Each structure stands twice: as structure tokens, then as C-alpha cells.
Amino acid sequence: MSVINHYKNTNTQFGWVTIVIHWLLVLPIIGLFFLGDYMMDLSYYDSFYTLGPKIHEAVGILVLFIMLFRVVWRVRNVSPTPPKTNSQFVNIASKLAHLGMYAILFLILITGLLISFAGGQGLEIFDWFIIPGPNEFFENQATLAGNVHRLAALGLMALIALHTLAALKHHFIDKDTTLTNMLGIKEK
Ligand code: HEM
Ligand code: HEM
């Protein structure tokens, strides 16, 4: 057993760039879900009432930029061939799940921006600087985008749970290289 030493994906292994981005984003994405859920329950007099959304938006913007790079990297790289023991169904289902996670993530990120820009005041990153944004595109933008944002976030969490269970099944039940590959470990 050894670790891989290439940064680009090959036909058999993920490269370090894909691996680092994959694991780097896990905590922020799941953290944003719980922070978002938590901050919606705060009242005006709570000390976290203004800071919570500020952290949520700033981390969200970072995730957005990393996701833009991730898509570019993804389309410019080959994907490792799945284990031979995988059924055709599993291969198609996992492709759809990965595509679904990308699509829902962008839906969340874009509706997040639409909520924040709705007042026309731009997006304030703490007291550091303001990212200017367009005014409202449609009526009730904050409410509508907020509803989609919440539903999409719930959908993403369901997909991530399924995705994690699938990864663990590959590792502990099928005993194939799916998970070790995403950890940068070479079996031989
Ligand atoms: C992976 C990324 C993200 C996840 C998982 C996420 C998740 C959530 C969740 C679960 C809520 C609570 C919704 C509710 O209960 O109504 C929320 C609220 C919110 N999010 Fe996000 N969010 C993400 C990214 C962003 C980004 C990039 C922005 C803006 C730059 C943003 C802005 C907001 C705002 C302003 C709210 C308050 C909504 C309201 O006032 O109705 N989010 N988010
Ligand atoms: C925020 C949570 C997560 C998201 C959004 C996510 C997303 C993705 C995506 C989009 C891929 C396809 C490769 C790529 O384009 O980067 C992938 C692959 C993978 N993920 Fe995750 N993932 C998450 C969490 C996890 C966790 C917790 C595990 C394991 C415990 C895991 C294990 C894997 C494995 C093993 C692969 C390779 C699958 C294959 O070769 O077909 N992921 N993930």
C-alpha cells in the first residue's frame, strides 16, 4: 500500500487536486446546512443574529469559488474506471448522484446569492468589503429564493447521506477500491 504521487486524475486513480477539493468541501457544506438551519431560529436579541448570517454568506462565497474551480477541473480530467465488480446499475446511479450533487449545490449557491442580493445592498463580507450585486430580478425574490434554498439544501443532505452510505458499502461490504481511491491510497 502506498499513496499516489500525481495531481491529475488517471484512468485508475483520482489525483490529489480532486481528492483535496472533495474532502476540503465536506465540512463547510455540511456546516453551512446546520448553521443555516440554526440561524433561522434566532431572534433579533440573540448575539449571533447578525454574525451567523455573515459567517454563512462568507463561507458560502468561498464554497462557490472552490466549486467553480472544481467543475473546470472535473471536465478537464478523466474519471477513473469503476471497479469491474460494479453492476451497470451502480455505475449509472453513482454518475447521476454525482451530477445531482453538483446541480443541487449550484442551485443552493445561486439562490443563496439571490436572497442576499434581494435588498439591493450588495453582499457585505463582514466589515471588510462589499460584493456589489444586481437589484431584485423578480418580486418576492428573498422569500422565493429562500424557499428553494431550504428545499435544495434538504435534498442535498439526503443525497450526501446516500452517497456516504454507498461509499461505506463499497469499502466494507464489496471491499473494493472506491473509497481508498478517494483517499489517495494505491493498493499495490
Ligand atoms: C452549500 C452551501 C449552502 C448551504 C448548504 C446552505 C444552507 C442553508 C440553510 C439550510 C438555510 C436555512 C433555510 C431555512 O430554514 O429557511 C440557509 C439560509 C440562508 N442562506 Fe444558505 N446555504 C448555502 C450557501 C449560501 C450562500 C452562498 C449564500 C449567500 C451568499 C447563502 C445565504 C443564505 C441566507 C441569506 C439565508 C437566510 C435565508 C432567509 O432569510 O430566508 N447561503 N442556508
Ligand atoms: C459534502 C459532502 C460530499 C459531497 C458534496 C460529495 C461529492 C462528491 C462528488 C461530486 C464526487 C464525484 C467526484 C468529483 O466530481 O469530485 C464524489 C466522489 C466520491 N465521494 Fe463524495 N461527497 C461528499 C462526502 C463524502 C463522504 C462523507 C464520503 C465517504 C465517507 C465520500 C466518498 C466519496 C468517494 C469514495 C467518491 C468516489 C466515487 C467514485 O469513484 O465513483 N464523499 N463525492
pLDDT tens-digit map of 65-121: 999 999 999 999 999 999 999 999 999 999 999 999 999 999 999 999 999 999 898
Ligand approaching nearest to the C-alpha of 145: 1
Nearest-angstrom CA–CA distance, 32 and 37? 8
Kindly state the percentage of the chain with pLDDT values over 70.
99
Kindly tell me the burial class for residue 139, based on how many C-beta atoms sit within 10 Å of its own C-beta (0-12, 13-18, 19 or more).
exposed
**Residues in CB range of 22: below 8 A, 6 or more apart:** 14, 182
Query: How remote is the CA of residue 26 from the centroid of ligand 2, in Å?
Result: 9
Q: What is the DSSP letter of 135?
A: -
Query: How remote is the CA of residue 117 from the centroid of ligand 2, in Å?
Result: 31
Per-residue model confidence as pLDDT tens digits over 135-168 = 899 999 999 999 999 999 999 999 999 999 999 9
Q: Which residue has the cell 452510505?
A: 165
**CATH number, domain at 99?**
1.20.950.20
Total of domains in the chain: 1
**Is residue 156 a contact partner of residue 109, using CB atoms and an 8 Å limit?**
no
User: Whole-structure pTM over 0.75, yes or no?
Assistant: yes
Largest CA distance in the chain: 59
CB distance 167 to ligand 2 below 6 Å: yes
As given in the structure block, the three cell numbers for residue 181 are 481511491
Mutate to test the pocket of ligand 2, among 84, 182, 183 (most ligand atoms within 8 A of CB): 182
Name the residue range of residue 132's domain. Answer: 2-186
